[in-house]
Chain A
Amino acid sequence: MDNSDQEVQGHQHQQQQQPTNVKVKNQVEVQIGLVGDAQVGKTSLMVKYVQNVFDEEYTQTLGVNFLKRKVSIRSTDIIFSIMDLGGQREFINMLPIASLGSSALVFLFDLTRPETLTSIKEWYRQAHGLNEGAIPVLVGTKYDLFVDLDPVYQEQLSRASMEYAQVMDAPLIFCSTAKSINVQKIFKVALAKIFSLTLTVPEINEIGDPLLIYSAFGNKRSRGAAR
């Protein structure tokens, strides 16, 4: 009598506290490094992407910033670990922190300052040298200011950056953190290239538009997927 009562109680009790399904969520963790000259907007881009906040004030990055963002889709969690390296030359010795272990390296330049594009050569040489497996992505920032400049300058810079993209075999994206243009796309393209996923998002090739060119670049390298 007593015992059977106990059993029933125990049974109900157990049923209540049990999570009934033993379900495992897939987890994909991807590290992405952001490099480029000082004041091109690396930290802004990261903060915008992770926290959706844009701050006009400039804060110099000392060393390396690090933020994580989790994207949940159905049964999969994608976790972006974003490493943002200060652009000053003095932090170059910390480049390995941002570069090693990253599956994609985003090279940023300021569309309003052509010399920052020239610096990409050096950034690419150093960062890519440390981690040849990482997918490079070339990103021009401050598109919102760029569109107001002389159309001739716009054309020249666009062509130059496309040449850089070709040499680096890197997708090219123009973005504006302030106006939320193509910010999300950078990470989507990076992820698609890392895992060789098929992208169907339309490309933007017109000079003067926020360029988004990915299909021809970043496809042929041999690399270990980050899983």
Chain B
Amino acid sequence: MKFASLSNGSFKRLRETPPVDLRPRKKSSPTPSDSESDNESNVNNKWRNSLDQVFKRRNTSNNLGRKRRWKNKGPFVRTAQNPPSPVNVTPGPTSVKNGPRWEDARIDSVIQLATISPFNEEKVTRHMADLTLVTPSSPTPPIALPPTVKPHPIFQMPEIVENILRFVSAYAEIPREKPYARRKPLSLEHAKLIYKDEKKAMEVWNNRSQIGAHNSNGDGNEMMGSVMYNCMMVNRLWFHVTLELLLEKFHFKDLTKFRRFLNVKNQMNTNKKLIKPKMMVLHKFHKLQQSELDELSRFLSCESLKWLEFYICPDVVPPVAWINQFNNLEKLVLPGNKKIDDKFLIQVSGHVNNLKVLDLRACDKVTDSGIIAMAIRCPQLQACNLGRHRNSSNITSLAVVALARNTDVETLGMAGCKITDAGLWELAQLRGSRIKRLSLNNCDLLTNHSIPTLLALNYFPNLAVLELRHVDQITEVKQLVKFKLWKRSQNIPVLIEGCERITRLMYDEENRIRKSHSLLAFEDMSTWVNTESEL
């Protein structure tokens, strides 16, 4: 697999290069072929045509001509003006001469590209000439490379390259909340109760600050993200294909980079092409200004957008211009937003009838009326999270009932909301059999008359996760345990996440139930072994 070894190779090199410096510029640079193929109106043929031109020119021109061409080029030359970086010591063409494989040669030239300085420009230029995509008909084979090593033809076909890069892109990490298997324990005692193993409990308790936190180090996916940028530097074709893919998944988690991207984009007035991402994620931009977002909306269109996420970007709301384009939106994730209110939701609700996921955690201004407006207009909604610590009285049973009545909701986050037993009963009756995840942490109005009773009557037969921390009025856990054991006997695990009090109650109850079951089993077995019957 040539491709595999290629990407692995560049992957390794990547750690030596400071890719951070190059990234935003790469991303924002205009398609370099523009300057070359402005007479080409057909976009589809653009890549191939520009490539053809390159080869034609290479075949006819001498070294000097080549050099000039590269000097005039867009993104690569800009990198050339970068100050020399420590990577300059990477093996030069000499190492290539010692019986190189094609992949190695390619990677070396990639590194060279990234670190062009005026001093080795000549070498690089010559080296670049060896990156043959199509076999040149020239009688003189490229310097230092045996004529047999050529890229496989598949790497020259845009459709195939796009397929390959799509796989790379699928692995690229999108900044997001790390999923966790279980919530952090509330105390060491609690950890012991949960894990029933002192050592494991200790470990989890001591590492608690890391669970769910942003553990970006040692994460392979992070690396994969940068591989995309490396792919941009392979050659022209790869650059175009990768750029398209990168812009499809528009995501930032560094505000300075985002601002730089805006600047570059603003300077390029010539490029009128709108970015139409399928996904847009901004991660923890505490200081992002609304004006900056409005600026972005001038060259970014949301008509293909399926996933919009502003994760803890407290002071911005999606620009008005975008809201009308939300028809394809399936996932709207805006947790920790201080600006979003009912008015915004009512405005949005008219345009999002394909919405499946709505996350408004800690959006303190949102109240029942906003949620009801959304529920009525989003019949496909499957997951809705309204958890909060402040303004708990803003969300009541009204929102729950509206969601239950009008949507396909399966996952419901109600942590810290003022929902009542009656509200939960109505949810159970309307949608009980479809509910899979339910978070009721800190719902202090709930009592034994809701969840325990509802589980006993099996109103939530498909419940897989139930969060029930700090619900002080719930004291009856027998039904919770029975439900858990019943599910387990069918090999369907169910997770009931309780606070220390509830976990302890459940633990004791489980032991009691187990004991009585064992006694029963012994009784049954004794009866059986003493019955007289041959088969």
Contact = CB atoms under 8 A, between A and B. Distances in A.
- The answer to whether A binds B is yes
Contact of A10 (B430, B483, B529): B430
A23 B482 CA distance: 8
| Interface class of chain A by DSSP | mixed
Contacts of B518: 26, 227
Interface in A1-37: 3, 6-7, 10-11, 14, 17-28
A18 B526 CA distance: 34
Contact of B528 (A11, A71, A227): A71
B521 A22 contact: no
Given A18-B458, A184-B534, A184-B535, A26 B430 contact: no
A178 interface: no
B185 interface: no
Q: Most chain-B CB neighbours within 10 Å: which of A6, A23, A49, A76?
A: A76
Nearest to A20: B458
Interface stretch (A84-92, A140-148, A193-201): A193-201
Contacts of B479: 22
Contacts of A181: 534
A62 B486 CA distance: 40
A78 interface: yes
A76 B430 contact: no
A102 to B, nearest CB: 18
A11 B522 contact: no
B432 interface: yes
Nearest to A52: B535
Contact of B526 (A180, A189, A198): A198
B429 A10 contact: yes
Contacts of A199: 529-530
A100 to B, nearest CB: 24
Contacts of B458: 18-22
A24 B485 CA distance: 7
A67 B482 CA distance: 31
B405 interface: yes
Interface residues of A, number: 42
A191 interface: yes
Given A22-B486, A25-B489, A200-B530, A17 B535 contact: no
A197 B534 contact: no
Given A7-B429, A28-B521, A73-B524, A22 B530 contact: no
B517 A24 contact: yes
A7 B426 contact: yes
Contacts of B432: 14
| Interface class of chain B by DSSP | helix
B532 A78 contact: no
A78 B531 CA distance: 15
A39 B314 CA distance: 79
Nearest to A30: B525
Nearest to A48: B535
B461 interface: yes
B311 interface: no
B328 to A, nearest CB: 30
A19 B461 CA distance: 9
A181 B520 CA distance: 30
Q: Most chain-B CB neighbours within 10 Å: which of A71, A184, A199?
A: A184
A7 B521 contact: no
A125 interface: no
B520 A75 contact: yes
Contacts of A227: 518
B247 to A, nearest CB: 46
Given A18-B459, A195-B522, A180 B534 contact: yes
A184 B533 contact: yes
24 contacts: A6-B430, A10-B429, A10-B430, A14-B432, A14-B459, A18-B458, A19-B461, A22-B455, A22-B458, A23-B486, A24-B489, A26-B521, A26-B524, A27-B489, A28-B525, A71-B528, A73-B524, A74-B524, A74-B527, A75-B521, A183-B535, A184-B533, A192-B525, A195-B525
Interface of A: 3, 6-7, 10-11, 14, 17-28, 48-49, 52, 71, 73-76, 78, 180-181, 183-184, 188-189, 191-192, 195, 197-201, 227
A-B pairs, top 10 by smallest CB distance, nearest first, are A76-B524, A26-B521, A188-B529, A22-B486, A73-B524, A192-B529, A76-B521, A24-B489, A197-B526, A73-B528
Given A74-B524, A189-B529, 9 more contacts: A22-B482, A22-B486, A26-B520, A26-B521, A73-B527, A78-B525, A192-B525, A199-B529, A201-B532
